[in-house]
Structure 1
């Protein structure tokens, strides 16, 4: 598929399409797809590209960040 990346505007012969939330997106790289689609941690602001954790309607990259905002019920792994 040839297409123009919605993030950087690059016209690329190996562009790919992602459908998320009923909307069609075209990217030239996973890096651009992550910038456009990955949620940000509610505490540190980094992109959550793994599973992350979720509580009280917020997404966090890890339990440490959740704890920093007062959410203490989450943990990354058993201790």
Structure 2
């Protein structure tokens, strides 16, 4: 069995996610998201969907980007 890097659970169905510069072992997608997903610069939530990026800063949605002062970002055009 493998131990989750986030919660420490020793689980027989754990999986490994490899990124361009790192890897981790997780027992659930929830733990993988906590370890790997970026956080919104405005509200702090984990960005699981597409999100928005401006000047290297990530936002969960256009609303948060606009609230942070970013102009020209829309959820839909």
- TM-score, normalised to structure 1, is 0.93
Query: The residue matched to 2:53 in structure 1 has which SS?
Result: strand
Offset, 1:21: 2.9
Q: Cα distance, 1:22 vs. partner?
A: 2.3
- Say if 2:41 is the partner of 1:49: no
TM-score w.r.t. structure 2 length? 0.95
**2:71 maps to which residue?**
72
The answer to which of 20-29 and 30-39 deviates more is 20-29
- In structure 2, distance between residues paired with 1:22 and 1:56: 22
3-state SS of paired residue (1:26)? strand
Superposed CA RMSD: 0.8
Deviations 1:2-56 (A, max 9, x none): 3100000000000000001321200000000000000000100000000001001
Uncovered stretches (5+) of structure 1, i.e. residues with no partner: none
Runs of 4 or more, structure 1, over 2 Å off, are none
